[in-house]
Structure 1
Amino acid sequence: MPIFQPIILTTLTITTLIFLSSTHLVLMWVALELNTLVVLPLIANKSHPRSIEASTKYFLTQAAASALIIFSWTLNYITTGGGQITEVTNQVLTTIMTLALFIKIGLVPFHFWVPETIQGMAPTASIFLLTWQKLGPLIMLYLMSPLINFEVLSAVSILSATVAGWLGLNQTQIRKLVAFSSIAQMSWTLVIIKYAPSLTILAFYLYSITISATLLTLEKLSTTSINNLLLSFQKAPVTSLLLTISLLSLSGLPPLAGFLPKWLTIDQLVAEGAIWVAFTMLMASLLSLFFYLRLWYNSASTLPPNTINTQRLWRKPTQQTNLTINSLAMAALTLILAATMMKAITKQEAY
């Protein structure tokens, strides 16, 4: 697998540059297909039935979404003769393309492939699927934001936040919890894209940092279920503390970084008159908050009963530190002052 890492990173970089430099739907569709083909080896990197099943589900779902995108572009080209993404003016075609991009991102009701795919992947490989892979569809939605129907956008966002939080309540597998967390976080990222696309960029940036820190710490702790977290603090107290910071940041508790985009999103939705959308999103986030706090409680707030006289389990002392995990976890921290400054900047842009 290390042999293919430069190829994978190079391809992802090229496709990202295509998304950033072009607005033609055919080029963007080609970039989406390249992204899909690049992520497939990351999913099926082991000859395990679960990995093969995850890669098959991912490929079929992404192929269906790509077919809808090229179908929408074809009909738009026949009717208007335009190939730019900003020229899709037909409301029906815009809705079809928006739903296809929702499939790419994994929002409800097209979320079924996300937990199954993440369950069959390694935590480090999941970082690419949950962050970089979603950058292309987000850029396309960013360019289409003036044309998107807000009723469709708000309905999908509310459903995503509610269903993801509800399905995560009784879930014990950490990878599936991370998948449901990603669905809920993406709903907050997209609900405001029509009124304030800059907030979408900020929310996705903070989400990428925090989810990367969470997945790296989970891999370092070698935990696959919530029960394994009970021993994590005794084995690696510093890593468990970093995991706690990342989880609480994902939950959106102040003064951590995850609180900033949610605060600004609610403020912008209320300013635009979408009070019920803001209220429903807040209520749905309480479901996600429950399983975040459950993970935090099991990882850092409990000590399981020991049958020996020592206070901690034996572990080999080491002086090595993981700079990547530490940097990402510290980036998940922020101050209320930074949130206040960002809020002032957003209001200035609105005026």
Structure 2
Amino acid sequence: MPLFQPIILTTLTITTFIFLSSTHLVLMWVALELSTLAILPLIATKSHPRAIEASTKYFLTQATASALIIFSGTLNYTMTGNCQITELTNPNLMMVLMLAMFIKIGLVPFHFWVPETLQGMAPTAAIFLLTWQKLGPLIMLYLMSPLINFEILSMMAILSAMTAGWLGLNQTQVRKLVALSSIAQMAWTLVIIKYAPSLTILAFYLYSLTISATLLTLNKLSTTSISGLLLSFSKTPIISFLLTISLLSLSGLPPLAGFLPKWLTIDMLMAEEAIWIAFMMLMASLLSLFFYLRLWYNSASTTPPNTTNTSRLWRKPLPKTNLTINLLSMAAFTLILAATLMKAITKQ
């Protein structure tokens, strides 16, 4: 269908405008449903059993979260006659709505759908799932941030960061590692949303840039496992170098762009006297750093001749980088863009 992609992009754009312009719970629920239905064809683009399985798991998980949103909104309307998300007063209904948002974002213990769904998707379609699809739930949590229970939120964030790190230690599939990385990054994005919502916006923006660059470079390399990255530098050194920049930025190593939101998050947690939360998040980030460095080692630090146990791939025509990959990678490489954004946000 020639109108397939424009219809999907138009629907996602409309839902984004609804999120940005409304605080009515019913309208936001409708926007979430429209975005879910729009992303399903991207997941099942190919008639492959793995893609069908991924789309089914994603649909069932999102339907569960939507049911929880309707449940909390209906009970709140019967009790207060109000459907504004900023005026929820019942703590139990607030908890149910928070759990629904955690399911849609993929925080632990509702993370199981993220690796399985991403494994059956194309890397270019996964960009929409890991960035645009999480924009709506993040906006809803942003609106709820003054009423959020920080203890529960911080516990979920710590569990998500630690679980993603542990699961990634022995993982060999690249797309599942990217999914686990997304879970850990969402934990860092949400742990500070109550005290510094502007920092959450900055963290999500930089995460979207770096994860998009990572997925685009992985799509160019056409690899699905870590062993497939062993010969990437000898065949495509430029793309492997760009992948290295993106991976190290996701890990939060200075002076790359991913370091700034983590540094500011730790600084804000220390200012709010949440020292143990900051310590646990730092310890969890070390686990994620291990598999980031393992990806970097296999993609850019291993060159033939070597003693790997993998069979040599037939040398195909070298893929060329495009302007999008170069711009996203350079954005991940520099801190100037992040510092400028942070300065503009803090002035408001």
Deviation at 1:304, TM superposition (A): 3.6
Match of 1:166 in 2: 166
Match of 2:191 in 1: 191
Output the amino acid matched with 1:109.
P
Is the partner of 1:332 in helix, strand or coil? helix
Matched-pair identity in %:
80
Return the alpha-carbon distance in structure 1 between the equivalents of residues 233 and 241 of structure 2.
8
Q: How does 1:95-134 map to 2 (within 5 A)?
A: 95-134=95-134
Are residues 1:285 and 2:321 paired?
Answer: no
Shift of the 246–102 alpha-carbon distance from structure 1 to 2, 3 Å rule, reads same
Q: How does 1:53-92 map to 2 (within 5 A)?
A: 53-92=53-92
Output the amino acid matched with 1:198.
S
Shift of the 28–342 alpha-carbon distance from structure 1 to 2, 3 Å rule, reads closer
| Contact persistence 1:160–1:183 (CA under 8 A) | yes
Are residues 1:147 and 2:147 paired?
Answer: yes
Deviation string for 1:48-78 (max 9, x for gaps)?
1111111111001000000000100011111
Return the alpha-carbon distance in structure 2 between the equivalents of residues 145 and 306 of structure 1.
52
Return the alpha-carbon distance in structure 1 between the equivalents of residues 11 and 251 of structure 2.
33
Output the amino acid matched with 2:18.
I
Deviation at 1:234, TM superposition (A): 1.0
Gaps of 5+ in 2: 308-313
Return the alpha-carbon distance in structure 1 between the equivalents of residues 340 and 13 of structure 2.
32
| Contact persistence 2:235–2:318 (CA under 8 A) | no
| Contact persistence 2:54–2:116 (CA under 8 A) | yes
| Contact persistence 2:33–2:66 (CA under 8 A) | yes
Deviation at 1:89, TM superposition (A): 1.1
Aligned length: 343
Is the partner of 1:328 in helix, strand or coil? helix
Gaps of 5+ in 1: 308-312
Q: How does 1:314-333 map to 2 (within 5 A)?
A: 316=317, 321-333=321-333
Instruction: Using structure 1 for the length normalisation, give the TM-score.
Output: 0.94
Return the alpha-carbon distance in structure 1 between the equivalents of residues 175 and 156 of structure 2.
23
| Contact persistence 2:157–2:187 (CA under 8 A) | yes
Deviation at 1:3, TM superposition (A): 2.9
| Contact persistence 2:158–2:277 (CA under 8 A) | yes
| Contact persistence 1:264–1:343 (CA under 8 A) | no
Deviation at 1:46, TM superposition (A): 1.2
Shift of the 344–216 alpha-carbon distance from structure 1 to 2, 3 Å rule, reads closer
Output the amino acid matched with 1:196.
A
Deviation at 1:187, TM superposition (A): 0.2
Match of 1:310 in 2: none
Return the alpha-carbon distance in structure 1 between the equivalents of residues 173 and 182 of structure 2.
14
Deviation string for 1:250-301 (max 9, x for gaps)?
0000000000000000000000011100000000000000000000000000
Shift of the 341–321 alpha-carbon distance from structure 1 to 2, 3 Å rule, reads closer
Q: How does 1:19-30 map to 2 (within 5 A)?
A: 19-30=19-30
Is the partner of 2:231 in helix, strand or coil? helix
For the aligned residues, what is the CA RMSD?
A: 2.0
Match of 1:305 in 2: 305
Return the alpha-carbon distance in structure 2 between the equivalents of residues 54 and 152 of structure 1.
29
Return the alpha-carbon distance in structure 1 between the equivalents of residues 317 and 21 of structure 2.
50
Instruction: Using structure 2 for the length normalisation, give the TM-score.
Output: 0.94
Are residues 1:226 and 2:218 paired?
Answer: no
Deviates more, 1:180-189 or 1:84-93: 84-93
Deviation string for 1:230-249 (max 9, x for gaps)?
01001100000000000000
Return the alpha-carbon distance in structure 2 between the equivalents of residues 126 and 316 of structure 1.
25
Output the amino acid matched with 1:255.
P
Return the alpha-carbon distance in structure 2 between the equivalents of residues 114 and 273 of structure 1.
32
After TM superposition, where is structure 1 displaced by more than 3 Å over at least 4 residues in a row?
313-318, 337-349
Shift of the 232–26 alpha-carbon distance from structure 1 to 2, 3 Å rule, reads same
Output the amino acid matched with 2:228.
N
Deviation at 1:343, TM superposition (A): 7.1
Return the alpha-carbon distance in structure 2 between the equivalents of residues 341 and 31 of structure 1.
31
| Contact persistence 2:11–2:35 (CA under 8 A) | yes
Return the alpha-carbon distance in structure 2 between the equivalents of residues 326 and 74 of structure 1.
47
Return the alpha-carbon distance in structure 2 between the equivalents of residues 285 and 218 of structure 1.
23
Match of 1:94 in 2: 94
Shift of the 266–214 alpha-carbon distance from structure 1 to 2, 3 Å rule, reads same
| Contact persistence 1:142–1:193 (CA under 8 A) | yes
Output the amino acid matched with 1:34.
L
